[in-house]
Structure 1
Amino acid sequence: MYKYDAIDQQLVNERVAQYRDQTNRYLAGELSEDEFRPLRLQNGLYIQRQAPMLRIAVPYGMLSSKQLRKLGDIAQKYDKAYGHFSTRQNLQLNWPKLEDVPEILAELATVEMHAIQTSGNCIRNITTDQFAGVAPDEVIDPRAMAEVMRQWSTFHPEFALLPRKFKIAVSGTEQDRAIVQAHDIGMEFYKDAKGETAIKVWVGGGLGRTPILGTVIREHLEWQHALTYCEAIIRVYNIHGRRDNAYKARIKILVKALGIEDFKQQVEAEWLHLKDNPNTITEAELARVGQHFEAMPYENLPAHDASFDSAIASNPAFAAWVKRCVHAHKQAGYRAVTLSLKPHGHAPGDITSEQMAVVADLADAYSFGELRASHKQNLILADVKLSDLFPLWEKARAAGLATPNIGLLTDIICCPGGDFCSLANAKSIPIAEAIQMQFDNLDYLHDIGDLELNISGCMNACGHHHVGHIGILGVDKDGSEWYQVTIGGKQGNDASIGSVIGPSFSADEMPGVVQRLIEVYIKERTPEERFIDTVRRIGVPPFKAHVYASKETANV
């Protein structure tokens, strides 16, 4: 992963000192609430329902074991001994004291971490595939480019006060796992006909109140122009994006209002002034940044391991975990492992300080001291030997980190919702927990197969409900919490936005609603179909009919 140089460290240290002074002045009454608000937001601090919330940056999802231990220590010392991994691969602390935040930022700086630009109307944390660098279908490892973009976007003076927040995702694989189509800018790296690295650029994607999948604005962009082309896009948005209505301020609204051709013409015209400026990336600059990423010291291993094969054959529980939580690796003799942060009956994405220490130890013992956070709110050890999988599993299971549900119905994406977020219309976590307990039979889950269920507590869609095979949205109805259900959403190359099945449901009804959706799928599926495939084949009406017929029967 990326290692700071002296300039990186100086910038972060100076920001800590700056924010410490700002906080002291606010607490002394020298700064008003209105004056302090943009300053704290620039440093990732929100004021939520119960307490402040601090969002800590995890650039493109990469963490070292040392950093995770520090996060665990901070959560133990300044919070309630746990953290929450978000869908932007960041970590959130839900209970820090405002006056402690400068101390937290100072401790983060000692391990090359910060909270810069994790909130506010700026370019947020750049995200990518959690298997970047190890995925067998990877064409280009995008992490060095993501780091170049992070350095370019950090403290960018022109883009410090955009009409709204701005999100960028990069991917270098054949199968998109970074949801590039649902971002303000999505960048797909590929090899062109000449064998050169090029980028397909998507623009105007986003979820929230108005879910829209992005449109390709340029099929072939030479990689050297990644920054200048992004700069042209964001400059057009910064000039023309609406600032009079927060609900219509995202770039997706501007792209739709102008039409992609008009928007593209403006971007291309702007790019003419930027194309060959100093932000054009050179081979030397990309190599310089690349040198900050240490190469993994892989051993020359055989493709198969007898001890692993024996453990699979003799231990059904281990075999079930391998099936769901262990993933192919481009290096022979290695696998990537997802540690589930979705044990049944617990808030998805939460991890205790004790578990952070365990994962850090596992990373040191089995994965070169590195790990990743995924936008699906799990943790990944990317470089595990086949021979180490069984002892890793035993230790992970003892720590509650080996639920074999990755990709299954209970591997739920879920925002903090009304338990914490001041924007939420309804609670998310209790709904996730109730659904997990409704489907607590792992054999049944495996029979259902791959199914993505996403929950958001409000229209901001932090839980990505629009692109869930089943999506659940908390809504307010006359002061009560209700839940709207969509089906047919999907991430990936063939991404889609889900369709609302009908009127909303009460919280108590939600586990049964999901159960009835599954009943239709099991009845109608063909042997090779996943839930999303059946929905696309037969449409929404059969699901809607069964759900609401059952609802009417229950009300008789």
Structure 2
Amino acid sequence: MYQYTEFDQQFVKARAAQYRDMLERNLAGQLGDDEFRPLRLQNGWYLQRYAPMLRIAVPYGEISSRQLRVLARIAREYDQPSNELFRQAQQTQDALGAVPVPRGGAVGSNLKNGYGHFTTRLNVQFNWIPLARSADVMELLATVNMHGIQTSGNTIRNINTEALAGIAVDEIADPRPFCEILRQWSTLHPEFAFLPRKFKISVNGAREDRAALGWYDIGLQLLRNAAGELGFKVLVGGGMGRTPVIGTVVREFIAWHQVINYIEACIRVYNRYGRRDNVWKARIKILVKAEGQRYIDQVEAEYRQIVEVDGAPHTITQEEFDRVAAHFVPPALARRERKGEEAGMHEIIRAAAQADPEYARWLHRNVKPHRDPELRAVVLSFKRPGQAPGDATGEQLDLAADFAERFSAGEARTTHEQNLLLPWVHQDDLPALWHAARQAGLARPNIGLLTDMISCPGGDFCSLANARSLPIAEAIMQRYQDLDEVYDIGEIDLHMSGCINSCGHHHSGHIGILGVDKDGKEWYQVTLGGADGSKLSGPATPGKVVGPSFSAAEVPEVIEALLETYRALRQHAGGRSETFIATLRRVGLEPFKAAANAVRNPEQQEA
């Protein structure tokens, strides 16, 4: 993991002290709310539906056990609203009504406090910290080099990569040193502090795209050219929201040491020509889509100016790369003494799996291959009934810290799917980790399956949301508790957003659910066939709407109808069943649309 320098540490502490000064002036009436708002947002503090929401940066997803323990403390001690505020919020949510679950039952609001929430962009959020205590939280975070800088505002946001970075068996090069260099370059970048709109960058170092590059403002794919030189393919202009767009390849290859100079050119052109008159037209995807080759030509001209005239000021030197890369070497792990052949341990693991089917499923779904044959990467699942997807209690965060220290060299990683990954687990420790994680409720063997769904907090918390997403997620979770059934359905991406801002990445779900508003009521639009660019999903693709919107009560039944249609139409070969996305692409949308629309109550108006 990257270790903050003394300069980094002092910078974060100074930022926390600066925030305290601004907050105290605001609370004393010396700094108006309108003046305080941009300063608050620059540090990750939003005012949401009921209370402030804090977004904490987790650069490229790497998080230490010490940091997890501080997050646990924040959940227990600070994510606590007044009883009156919480009661009022609960009454508001109760008035919206419960969501029926097919075959009986109903699910109400998931309004809870004392939780951290893992986001799709690897950050951590809290929803109930009183603003008067926010400076205390910032100072506590600074003790472990955490902050909320540039987790909001029209700036370059958290730099992303995949959770297997540096350990993936199909890796071309480790993307983490480049992510860290980009983080340092982009933090408080004076030229890009007020872009037309927020800006997001993702980097992938493996052959398989597990970083959803096509959906980012800039996506960077590490590769080697014909001469064996390391560099990047550059995609620009991806994004979700009201207008889903897949990024355009603007450069097939840029040498690694010139990548920041090239990114600077891409963002300068956007900063110069991006729209500022319409928030819905302000993202770079709109500029790239409208200008096409003219945008690329402008970038190339700007890049030549930066390199040939300005002297390529952001060239990454070998010395600087080596300095940063030295932080990302594998941890010094004790090697295990072997009394027999390596195959002996594999036989022990295999025998244990045969003896316990639940353990076998966990090994299959939650344990990932590692470039070091003695190690594995293990996913802790934060998806279970009664808890919103991606939520983690203070106790669970402390337990995750325990597991990281005991089994993973003190390191964990947040994932795009809103779970935690332990990257340095010795294969001998798998049985002990499984028993500990199962006792903690974090070993549910559902990674990549239906109940490993992605969801934003939605209308339960967010003031931008048109509808609640968490009761829908819980209704689906309650309906599909039978692991045998979930395994029979197989690998599938279900993504859910409470509004068009797409924080739940519904556009890239094989099944996507989007909350919409009609006459002040909650309705939901369903899309099919989205993809994030991974091997399972195929090239990044936005899903297609299956028809008019559905009521909250209908959504769980729609999902059931879609899945039953898939099970009726899928093909089988070699003992394996065709996946949902493969069946959908083979037979087309029509059978699925018909099944979904058959659920609609004819007495209800269509949204």
- TM-score tier by shorter-chain length is over 0.9
Q: What is the DSSP-based 3-state SS (H/G/I as helix, E as strand, rest coil) of the residue aligned with 2:430?
A: helix
Match of 1:272 in 2: 304
The one-letter code of the counterpart of 1:284 is E
Match of 1:505 in 2: 550
Q: Is the 8 A contact 1:305 1:387 kept in 2?
A: no
Q: How far apart are residue 277 of structure 1 and its match?
A: 2.1
Q: How far apart are residue 206 of structure 1 and its match?
A: 0.3
Q: Does 1:305 align with 2:346?
A: yes
Match of 2:218 in 1: 185
Equivalent in 276, 287, 300 of residue 243 of structure 1:
276
Equivalent in 87, 97, 101 of residue 120 of structure 2:
87
Q: TM-score, normalised by structure 1?
A: 0.98
Q: Give me the whole-angstrom Cα distance separating, in 2, the residues matched to 1:43 and 1:552.
A: 46
Q: How far apart are residue 549 of structure 1 and its match?
A: 2.6
Q: Does 1:540 align with 2:589?
A: yes
The aligned runs of 1:445-464 (5 Å cut-off) are 445-464=486-505
Q: How far apart are residue 552 of structure 1 and its match?
A: 5.8
Q: How far apart are residue 520 of structure 1 and its match?
A: 1.0
Q: Give me the whole-angstrom Cα distance separating, in 2, the residues matched to 1:341 and 1:456.
A: 18
Q: Is the 8 A contact 2:333 2:409 kept in 1?
A: no
Q: Is the 8 A contact 1:3 1:293 kept in 2?
A: no
Q: Is the 8 A contact 2:218 2:235 kept in 1?
A: yes
Q: Give me the whole-angstrom Cα distance separating, in 2, the residues matched to 1:422 and 1:552.
A: 29
Q: How far apart are residue 257 of structure 1 and its match?
A: 1.0
Residues 248-257 or 94-103, more deviating: 94-103
Q: What is the DSSP-based 3-state SS (H/G/I as helix, E as strand, rest coil) of the residue aligned with 1:262?
A: helix
Q: Is the 8 A contact 2:498 2:516 kept in 1?
A: yes
Equivalent in 418, 434, 453 of residue 393 of structure 1:
434
Q: Is the 8 A contact 2:458 2:470 kept in 1?
A: yes
Q: Give me the whole-angstrom Cα distance separating, in 2, the residues matched to 1:300 and 1:263.
A: 53
Q: Does 1:48 align with 2:48?
A: yes
Q: How far apart are residue 553 of structure 1 and its match?
A: 8.1
Q: Does 1:2 align with 2:43?
A: no
Q: Does 1:362 align with 2:403?
A: yes
| Deviations 1:406-440 (CA, angstroms, capped at 9, x unpaired) | 10111110000000000000000000000111111
Q: Does 1:284 align with 2:319?
A: yes
Q: Give me the whole-angstrom Cα distance separating, in 2, the residues matched to 1:74 and 1:45.
A: 15
Q: How far apart are residue 307 of structure 1 and its match?
A: 3.2
Q: What is the DSSP-based 3-state SS (H/G/I as helix, E as strand, rest coil) of the residue aligned with 1:406?
A: coil
The aligned runs of 1:481-520 (5 Å cut-off) are 481-493=522-534, 494-520=539-565
Match of 1:66 in 2: 66
Q: Does 1:161 align with 2:194?
A: yes
Q: Give me the whole-angstrom Cα distance separating, in 1, the residues matched to 2:72 and 2:595.
A: 46
Equivalent in 422, 434, 439 of residue 381 of structure 1:
422
Q: What is the DSSP-based 3-state SS (H/G/I as helix, E as strand, rest coil) of the residue aligned with 2:244?
A: coil
Q: Give me the whole-angstrom Cα distance separating, in 2, the residues matched to 1:239 and 1:208.
A: 22
The one-letter code of the counterpart of 1:224 is H
Q: Give me the whole-angstrom Cα distance separating, in 2, the residues matched to 1:165 and 1:203.
A: 14
Residues 285-294 or 229-238, more deviating: 285-294
Q: Is the 8 A contact 2:557 2:599 kept in 1?
A: no
Match of 1:522 in 2: 567
Q: How far apart are residue 547 of structure 1 and its match?
A: 1.9
Q: Give me the whole-angstrom Cα distance separating, in 1, the residues matched to 2:281 and 2:429.
A: 51
Q: Give me the whole-angstrom Cα distance separating, in 2, the residues matched to 1:553 and 1:444.
A: 30
Q: Give me the whole-angstrom Cα distance separating, in 1, the residues matched to 2:329 and 2:57.
A: 20
**Gaps (5+ residues) in structure 2?**
80-112, 337-341
Q: Is the 8 A contact 1:368 1:383 kept in 2?
A: yes
Q: Is the 8 A contact 1:61 1:128 kept in 2?
A: yes
Residues 12-21 or 33-42, more deviating: 12-21
Equivalent in 489, 506, 516 of residue 465 of structure 1:
506
Q: Is the 8 A contact 1:425 1:474 kept in 2?
A: yes
Q: Does 1:38 align with 2:79?
A: no
| Deviations 1:354-409 (CA, angstroms, capped at 9, x unpaired) | 01110100011111110000011000001111111111111111111111111011
Q: Is the 8 A contact 2:512 2:543 kept in 1?
A: yes
Q: Is the 8 A contact 1:345 1:434 kept in 2?
A: no
The aligned runs of 1:94-243 (5 Å cut-off) are 94-243=127-276
Change (3 A) 1:554 1:453: farther
The one-letter code of the counterpart of 2:147 is H
Q: Give me the whole-angstrom Cα distance separating, in 2, the residues matched to 1:207 and 1:459.
A: 8
The one-letter code of the counterpart of 1:363 is A
Q: Is the 8 A contact 2:511 2:529 kept in 1?
A: yes
Q: Is the 8 A contact 1:57 1:113 kept in 2?
A: yes
Q: Is the 8 A contact 1:347 1:429 kept in 2?
A: yes
Residues 149-158 or 485-494, more deviating: 485-494
Q: Give me the whole-angstrom Cα distance separating, in 1, the residues matched to 2:601 and 2:40.
A: 49
The one-letter code of the counterpart of 1:267 is V
Q: Is the 8 A contact 1:53 1:93 kept in 2?
A: yes
Equivalent in 396, 407, 415 of residue 448 of structure 2:
407
Q: Give me the whole-angstrom Cα distance separating, in 2, the residues matched to 1:241 and 1:472.
A: 30
Q: How far apart are residue 554 of structure 1 and its match?
A: 9.6
Q: Is the 8 A contact 2:554 2:599 kept in 1?
A: no
The one-letter code of the counterpart of 1:282 is T
Q: Give me the whole-angstrom Cα distance separating, in 2, the residues matched to 1:481 and 1:294.
A: 49
Q: Give me the whole-angstrom Cα distance separating, in 2, the residues matched to 1:289 and 1:163.
A: 31
Q: Give me the whole-angstrom Cα distance separating, in 2, the residues matched to 1:306 and 1:525.
A: 34
Q: How far apart are residue 128 of structure 1 and its match?
A: 0.3
The one-letter code of the counterpart of 1:525 is R
Q: Give me the whole-angstrom Cα distance separating, in 1, the residues matched to 2:570 and 2:240.
A: 29
Residues 338-347 or 306-315, more deviating: 306-315
Q: What is the DSSP-based 3-state SS (H/G/I as helix, E as strand, rest coil) of the residue aligned with 1:101?
A: helix
Q: How far apart are residue 29 of structure 1 and its match?
A: 0.8
| Deviations 1:118-151 (CA, angstroms, capped at 9, x unpaired) | 0011000011011101111111100000000000
Residues 442-451 or 521-530, more deviating: 521-530
Q: Give me the whole-angstrom Cα distance separating, in 2, the residues matched to 1:103 and 1:318.
A: 42
Q: Does 1:435 align with 2:476?
A: yes
The one-letter code of the counterpart of 1:542 is P
Cα RMSD, aligned residues only: 1.3
Q: What is the DSSP-based 3-state SS (H/G/I as helix, E as strand, rest coil) of the residue aligned with 2:434?
A: helix
**Gaps (5+ residues) in structure 1?**
none
Q: Does 1:426 align with 2:453?
A: no
Q: How far apart are residue 278 of structure 1 and its match?
A: 2.2
Q: How far apart are residue 320 of structure 1 and its match?
A: 1.1
| Deviations 1:75-108 (CA, angstroms, capped at 9, x unpaired) | 2111143200111100001011112111111111
Q: Does 1:296 align with 2:331?
A: yes
Q: Give me the whole-angstrom Cα distance separating, in 2, the residues matched to 1:549 and 1:26.
A: 54
Residues 491-500 or 481-490, more deviating: 491-500
Q: Is the 8 A contact 1:4 1:292 kept in 2?
A: no
Q: Give me the whole-angstrom Cα distance separating, in 1, the residues matched to 2:263 and 2:24.
A: 37
The one-letter code of the counterpart of 1:63 is I
Q: What is the DSSP-based 3-state SS (H/G/I as helix, E as strand, rest coil) of the residue aligned with 1:9?
A: helix
Q: Give me the whole-angstrom Cα distance separating, in 1, the residues matched to 2:48 and 2:450.
A: 29
Q: What is the DSSP-based 3-state SS (H/G/I as helix, E as strand, rest coil) of the residue aligned with 2:306?
A: coil
The one-letter code of the counterpart of 2:540 is A
Q: Give me the whole-angstrom Cα distance separating, in 1, the residues matched to 2:348 and 2:21.
A: 57
Q: Give me the whole-angstrom Cα distance separating, in 2, the residues matched to 1:251 and 1:221.
A: 20
Stretches of 4+ aligned residues off by more than 3 angstroms: 298-307, 550-555
